[in-house]
Structure 1
Amino acid sequence: MNLTILGCYAATPRSLTNPTSQVLEMKNRMFLIDCGEGTQVQLRKNKIKFSRINHIFISHLHGDHFYGLIGLISTFSLLGRQNDLHVYGPKGIKEVILLLLKTSGSWTSYNLYFHELDSKESEVIFEDDKVIVSTIPLKHRVYTNGFLFQEKTGDRKLNLDAVNEYGIETCYYNKVKSGSDMTLEDGKVIPNELLTFDPYPPMSYAFCSDTLYDETIVSLIRDVDVLYHESTFLDIDEQYCEKTMHSTAKQAAEIAVKANAKHLILGHYSTRYGSIEPFKEEAQTVFENVHLADDSKVFEFN
């Protein structure tokens, strides 16, 4: 599971920092999460193939989280894209994007599907044979969701020494990996656990964008492998959280502790601060395994 941070700063883009956008690679799927200004430039800088992005998840309709979307959609057309593109986001996102496409006469060369969200309860919004994605309702100034990405349990791993020892033919390998026992020609049944190893434990990633500190999300993300949680402010400026409906680094760490997360990634830093290191220092007073997001930083989790 790889995570590439394209942008992780709050409010406005600057010469050296970008607003929120990131790419999650999971089970050979690639998901774009939020799409602030400059996202397509960051995709190019990080050598991420546009053609691999088929699903885009938008947390909410504040500009620093989706103003890059129309540009990216248009660029896909200019590049001759043919693959379907699915956009998941709050109700209203379809109207905004289609109005811009209509007024600019820039209809797409590919099928563009919108999956608009308005539920205040967690719901599954994407599922295939490898990955399932659910919403994480958040508390912000406008309707906002985080997203929980979960791998499905994969096939069992072949014990090659064992299958060779028992003379299992290759045409039965997929059946064995799916968990079936094998019956030999003499009628002897070989239990599957003698022929395979347990599959790799499925991994999970929770993206919690702009939100007021909210313990109700804990039950939705419990035992998550990696939690990205916004940390707009340091503890000294906590008084701004209620008005802006954002969180501090320390509060993000408290959510990580309560959810029993394995890793915490901080991001969405206010640009009022000269350094992001104090965010990590404050969070580590509560939760040990803290990482700092930064533009173009890549995380790999096994």
Structure 2
Amino acid sequence: MLDLLVYLDENLIRNLNSVVLNGYIDIRTFKKVRDRSIGGTVSLSDKEGKSWDSKEGKDKIEGYKTKHKSYANSSYCGNEKSLDFEGRDFDRNEQEIKKISTSFTFHSDLVNFLKRNNSIKNIKEVNNLRDIEIGDYIEIRGSVQDTSILFYIDTLLKIFNCYGYDFLNNLINDKKEYKLNYNIIGNLLTELKNSISVNETKDLIIKNNNTSLLLPVNENNFLNSHFNMFDIVHCNCKIFGKVMMVKEDNAKCISLLRKSSQENYYEDLLNYIDPYLKLLERNNIILPQKVECNIKGKMIMILPISICI
């Protein structure tokens, strides 16, 4: 069966590709140069000339007489010829080959490499957590769950805004047992929402038999932001990633509020506002079902590299 990729963490793929494989080349350029040209210089010259010189003189010295004559005759005739020749053979042939490897190529090469080296554990059903260790690269299947503490909080805030805080606060004006108002509760929930959604990361819960798979995912990695993490709720999918945590605790494996770094405080806060939410229900305001803050039982936390359906 051909898998369809719906989630891919490009940063993890590139980083892992550079470590496990040989990196990648974006551009290669090859050049072959040859140039053909012929050049030459020729010069010719003829020279001819004649000259004549004649001198006659007479000297007179007391008691002696001298007389002298001199003649000079010169001529020249010459030819000059020079020839220069230059030839070159030079071909220019330039070729550029550009090879761009996409993240999908890196993903395929990486998965195939790890499988050839038996570095990926392929798990269909989790039976024994001792078969899985922290640091393992695994491929595992499961069904996507709709559990999300973040969207639960977001839904409460939308309800508060729809009804208006003035209307909601009027419900507790005459009840002394309520020390807070819905403005305060809304502000506290907004701060909690912001703290557990920093950098667009959210928890995606997937079930494999009786084992919960917890995946910290980034919304931007779902098909280049054109896909939502809950578009595949209750669908089976295959996860390729690295095991970060393996735990089994019926009381509490891990908190979905851990990203706030104040999970105990915010868990107490959500329990503390239960009476205020029940007050709204008694006034016929429909609220979402409260989400359990902790994952219990068998749990594997996986840093997802890719998700396929």
Normalised by the size of structure 1, how large is the TM-score?
0.21
Greater relative contact order structure (CA < 8 Å, 6+ sep): 2
Q: Larger radius of gyration, structure 1 or 2?
A: 2
Which structure is higher in strand share? 2
Normalised by the size of structure 2, how large is the TM-score?
0.21
